[in-house]
Structure 1
Amino acid sequence: MTFRIRAARVDDLESLYELAKLGGSGFTNLPADRASLRAKLERAAAAYADGRESLPDGPGDELFVTILENTMTGEARGTAQIFACVGRTGPFYSYRLTTLTQHSKELARTFRAEMLNLVTDLEGSSEVGGLFLHPGERAGGLGLLLARSRYLFIAMHRGRFAPRILAELRGVIDERGGSAFWDGVAGRFFGMDFHEADTFNALHGNQFIADLMPKHPVYVAMLPESARTAIGMPHPNGRPAMRMLENEGFAYEGYVDIFDGGPTMTARTDQVRSIAQARAEPVAQIAPPEGIAAESRSPIRQALVATGRLASFRCTLADVADGQDGLILSPGAATALAVREGDTVWHVAR
């Protein structure tokens, strides 16, 4: 069974909707709403249709949506998104966890107070998000393929993305679909529960945050313990994703999501491992594993391999080796990518 990543199309709407229904609360980038998903797919279609290598004013307000496809059945089994530049058409809010140190000579004591500050520091960054894998496929490295294929896409279209990149991880959500962080912080000012606010944000954007969110720092010590312990903590299902981001070179620098308190991870785009180590080579030969072993100059290894520009982008996991004049590729991968000998592919070690 072979899977590949491909660019999403507008006619993927129903498949994307079925995936979104499985996502649950707190998944702002993948709302279970057909109108919102159709708007995302149409926005992505416009981005894929713009064939420029880069935009004259830098990265634009573009969204790229990808689909994990079972090539034997044609079924969509996962999805992911890349935002070329956040904050171009409206503010991109985060909380930043900072520390205020104060000293009293009379008491001979130093006090350190943690505070949450509402900031737009991350505006202008690219963002990887919207990753969702069907529960029936959470094995065999498909999550890795879905996540890291985005970095190959960025490497192949580097001029369309920003120098800095971020990833927001879903925070702690309870069994009722609520958020202790929201209840303890922003929920006090909005008159709506977490699910209502998160749904409104997914469908209508976050201008309401600019209108109602308090602009003064929030002292962490004044929050309920349940809210304090949620700050910077990923949802239990998101811990593998956090480790994967750390392996790529992302770090948590105190930025948290204003809805659920989940960590926002950041990195310099060119220092993300899968981007920095990506290489473009011609396909020297297509051969089965035994043929690869006979012809190669290196041991057989697994790699993410991608080809195509924009709407023709495709990526898969493949057995590869180094040949005399390029990459030796397994037949299954060549079929999934629709490449022949002599075609150029991008690859990075698994």
Structure 2
Amino acid sequence: MSVSEDLWRVRAARADDLPAILALARLTGGGFTNLPPDEAALGRRLDWSLASFGRDQDVPHNELYLLVLEQVATGRIAGTAMLFSRVGSEWPFYSYKIGTLKQTSRELGRNFSIQFLSLTSDYDGASEVGGLFLHPDCRSGGLGRLLARARYLFIARHRARFGRRMIAELRGVMDEAGNSPFWDALGRQFFGLSFPEADEFNAVNGNQFIADLMPKHPIYTALLPEAARAAIGQPHVKGRAALAMLEAEGFRFDNYVDIFDGGPTVCADIDALKGVREAQETVLTGLADSAGEDAAPRLIASGQLAEFQAFVAPLNLEGDRLPASIAAPLGLSVGTRITHAPC
């Protein structure tokens, strides 16, 4: 049976995916801490993911689950997505919390509201979605949505492996050379590194150096240049669509920003996320030559852990039937247990 080139799936990453993942990492343009263009660092992440998929304890500890977007007919890898079961387990997960201090001067007869940033680890213990990157040639036809939303079906099928809260960090404002106005105004003063240098160091070595050198006292944003202030809480121009998808899923901005580039961190209760809340389980009862009039496109997942895969296909909800032309190449048959949700 020939396989349509329109059939794509999101699946668990395998050891032999490293060259393709590295090629994608080299296209990011910087600022993607979870996807550094460094073969050794990516190799360590892939090993971490393989060990996480193989872990037999269904409790969140410190797992990374790396997923890839694959064209089934050709085996082409065109995207990545990640889930972290519990951040802050090895070293604190740092964020800046935006706060406001109100002061009154009776002599001047004026009230002042002063914005400041405080270094916090409030999100320690939360789960995280991240590492979402799609090849520029594939940013149409719903592939980005498939890649992003497949993560929530993975959570639904492995709910005990994740915590109560889920966060997502978005890349912040940068110029064409990969420099961050927020970092240049703040972090660079304490670390003596450019943003690309600090970002690469963090991606390869972790962010413990932040705890070692970052000032512990609040930072008044009025002391920062205008470009840095304007960047606080704003996503990179190429991340606006990702932010919109996260908000549609149920994530909300709660005044936490990334310590490197000032990009927004959004948070949600995992069980309230649309893709988790609307997920349904069923068993395939039959395959058909065609979708049928009653079939509707659904986001569908099958398999556990390293065998996980997700795809979009018309599913006949009355009889829980899939077209054979889709089921067969994906190794699905009558009796396969699937999880599905609206696209």
| TM more than 0.5 | yes
User: What residue in structure 1 maps to residue 182 of structure 2?
Assistant: 181
Residues 140-183 of structure 1 deviation map (CA, whole Å, 9 limit, x = unaligned): 10000100000100110000001000000001110111000000
Deviation at 1:319, TM superposition (A): 1.0
Letter matched to residue 221 of structure 1: A
Q: Which residue in 2 is equivalent to 1:11?
A: 16
Q: Match of 1:241, SS?
A: helix
Q: Give 3-state SS (helix, strand or coil) of 1:174's partner.
A: coil
Per-residue deviation, 1:331: 2.6
Shift of 1:337: 3.2
Asked if residue 63 in structure 1 is aligned to residue 64 in structure 2, the reply is yes
Amino acid at match of 1:51: D
C-alpha contact (below 8 Å) 1:316/1:333 kept by paired residues: no
1:243 corresponds in structure 2 to: 244
SS at match of 1:337: coil
Distance 2:328 2:198 in 1: 45
Distance 1:268 1:213 in 2: 30
Q: Identity percentage over the alignment? A: 49
Q: Is the counterpart of residue 334 in structure 1 residue 327 in structure 2?
A: yes
**After superposition, where does 1:72-151 map in structure 2 within 5 Å?**
72-151=73-152
Which runs of at least 4 in structure 1 moved beyond 6 Å after TM superposition?
none
Q: For 1:262-311, what per-residue CA distance to the aligned partner results, in whole angstroms no more than 9, with x for missing partners?
A: 1001000000000011010111222244x522xxxxx4321110001100
- Kindly state the Cα deviation for residue 104 of structure 1 after the two structures are TM-superposed: 2.4
Find the partner of 1:24 among 29, 43, 46: 29
8 Å CA contact 1:283, 1:340 repeated in 2 = yes
- Offset at residue 336 of structure 1 (A): 4.5
Matches of 1:307 and 1:4, distance apart in 2: 11
**1:270 matched residue in structure 2:** 271
Which deviates the most, 315-324 or 223-232? 315-324
Relative distance call for 1:89 and 1:322 in structure 2 (3 A) is: same
Partner of 2:303: 308
Partner of 1:296: none
- Rounded Cα–Cα distance in structure 1 between residues aligned with 2:238 and 2:323: 33
Map of 2:255 onto structure 1: 254
Q: Which residue of 2 aligns with 1:345?
A: 338
Whole-Å separation in 1 of the counterparts to 2:156 and 2:330: 17
Q: Which amino acid aligns with 2:15?
A: V
Q: CA deviation at 1:186?
A: 1.1
Q: Give distance in 1, aligned partners of 2:10 and 2:289.
A: 22
Q: TM-score, length-normalised on structure 1? A: 0.94
Q: Is the 8 A contact 1:249 1:273 kept in 2?
A: yes
> Could you say if the C-alpha distance between residues 236 and 336 of structure 1 is closer, same or farther in structure 2, counting changes exceeding 3 Å?
farther
Alpha-carbon distance in 2 for matches of 1:44, 1:223:
39
Q: Please tell me whether the aligned partners of residues 305 and 348 of structure 1 are also in contact (alpha carbons under 8 angstroms).
A: yes
Inter-CA distance 138–336: structure 2 relative to 1 (3 Å threshold): farther
Deviates more, 1:149-158 or 1:101-110: 101-110
SS in 1 for 2:216: coil
The whole-number CA distance in structure 1 between the counterparts of 2:327 and 2:107 is 74
**In 2 relative to 1, CA 288–106 (structure 1 residues): closer, same or farther, beyond 3 Å?**
farther
Q: How many residues are matched? A: 338
- From 46, 59, 72, give the equivalent of 1:41: 46
Once residues 332 and 60 of structure 1 are traced to their aligned partners in structure 2, the CA distance between those partners, rounded to angstroms, is 39
Shift of 1:63: 0.4
Task: Supply the RMSD in Å over aligned alpha carbons.
Answer: 1.1
Q: Equivalents in 2 of 1:51, 1:144: separation in Å?
A: 30
CA distance in 1, matches of 2:327, 2:114: 57
Match of 1:161? 162
AA of the residue aligned to 1:334 = A
**Structure 2: gaps (5+ residues):** none
